[in-house]
Structure 1
Amino acid sequence: MTAATILIVEDEAAIRDMVRFALERAEFETREAGDAAAAQVAIADQPPDLILLDWMLPDLSGIDLARRLRKDELTRDIPVIMLTARGEEEDKIRGLEVGADDYITKPFSPRELVARIRAVLRRVRGEGGERPIEIEGLILDPVGHRVSAHGEPLEMGPTEFRLLHFFMAHPERVFSRSRLLDSVWGRNVYVEERTVDVHIRRLRKALAPHGHDRLIQTVRGAGYRFSRQV
């Protein structure tokens, strides 16, 4: 398998050098950008397999760049890991809500960074070899990585796609947040249980145009389930 290409978007040269060294030792291909403008040029020239995105950039915040990437059809499925010195929970939630797939706070160890990158790439590449699933006009195609509702394509990020795939493959069952983290994100991923709530909200929004958001039900005190029953 060809080595994954990681775009490092970071304005501090010393951090870029450290990250590049760690990733190349782990046999990733790397590219670099010192600001959002350079990152957008690099992405347009050759979309990477994953973007490491610093929160504080000199020309545009990482949050705003992540939001732009998620709105663009050509870049919305590229996984993003935020790199930042911000450790407050609300900042983490903001990053996840605009489309980041994971979040790592500085200072971090190179081993942890590599582990998180591999975990995100496994999640993105993990589906395959299954038939489409259809429930009440909602169709998920694991091979084509598409979701449609009554023939109309629905747009959603890669994490929401995996979450929906898991739900549709296991309807009428209640899953706790910790079980969803293990099954959808993976056991070796360092994310908090509230991450599930963020992506549930985003999934419901994506399913709302034809009313399929009602299928994602909150079970108070237990977790979530995918159910046709009220």
Structure 2
Amino acid sequence: MRPKHIVVIDDDHLILAMANDFLSAAGYQVSTVDSPIFSNHIIYGSNPPDLIIIDYMMPLMNGDHKIKTLKSKSRSRDIPILLMSSKSHAELQLLAAEAGADGIVTKPFTPGNLVQMVRNYL
């Protein structure tokens, strides 16, 4: 059985590296992308993700817009998506609900927090 595939989208390369390290160490296959605009080749490629984690605030396109787009397409609407941000927990929950995200990840995150959130949605 192949490991679960997680896509992490964030414009901060340190966050991408940390998420990759933490999730890879937990046995997941991880793909990282620094822009939601350039993520379609991974999301709709030959190995679609089992879960997507996307940052809220990014240049060119915010995460909430990308989530709405993904949830509107039949090929991606059933993929669990977690909205990630350093905003307060309550504000992030509201933003996630408005965008149609399945859950949230607050920054900064620890390896245990991130892996547990992923496990909760897989």
TM-score normalised by the shorter chain: which range applies? over 0.9
> Hey, what's the Cα distance between the residues in 1 that align with 2:8 and 2:34?
8
Amino acid across the alignment from 1:80: I
Match of 1:24 in 2: 24
Greater relative CO (CA pairs within 8 A, separation 6+): 2
Structure 2 runs not aligned, ≥5 long: none
Larger radius of gyration: 1
Q: Report the TM-score, using the length of structure 2 for normalisation.
A: 0.92
Q: Which runs of 4+ in 1 moved over 3 A?
A: none
Match of 1:92 in 2: 93
Show the 5 A alignment for 1:71-220.
Answer: 71-87=72-88, 89-121=90-122
Match of 1:58 in 2: 59
**1:68 positional shift:** 0.4
1:108-129, Cα deviation, whole Å (9 max, x unpaired): 11111101101110xxxxxxxx
1:92-151, Cα deviation, whole Å (9 max, x unpaired): 212123221111211111111101101110xxxxxxxxxxxxxxxxxxxxxxxxxxxxxx
Structure 1 runs not aligned, ≥5 long: 122-230
**1:83 positional shift:** 1.1
Aligned residue-pair number:
121
Contact 2:51-2:81 within 8 A present in 1 as well: yes
| Secondary structure class of the residue paired with 2:39 | helix
Match of 1:2 in 2: 2
Amino acid across the alignment from 2:32: E
**1:88 positional shift:** 5.2
1:67-108, Cα deviation, whole Å (9 max, x unpaired): 000101110000001110111524421212322111121111
| Secondary structure class of the residue paired with 1:81 | strand
Match of 2:68 in 1: 67
> Hey, what's the Cα distance between the residues in 2 that align with 1:113 and 1:88?
15
Would you say 1:35 and 2:35 are equivalent positions?
yes
1:39-81, Cα deviation, whole Å (9 max, x unpaired): 1222122421100101112120000000000101110000001
Rate the CA distance shift 1:84–1:40 in 2: closer, same or farther, 3 A. same
> Hey, what's the Cα distance between the residues in 1 that align with 2:65 and 2:16?
20
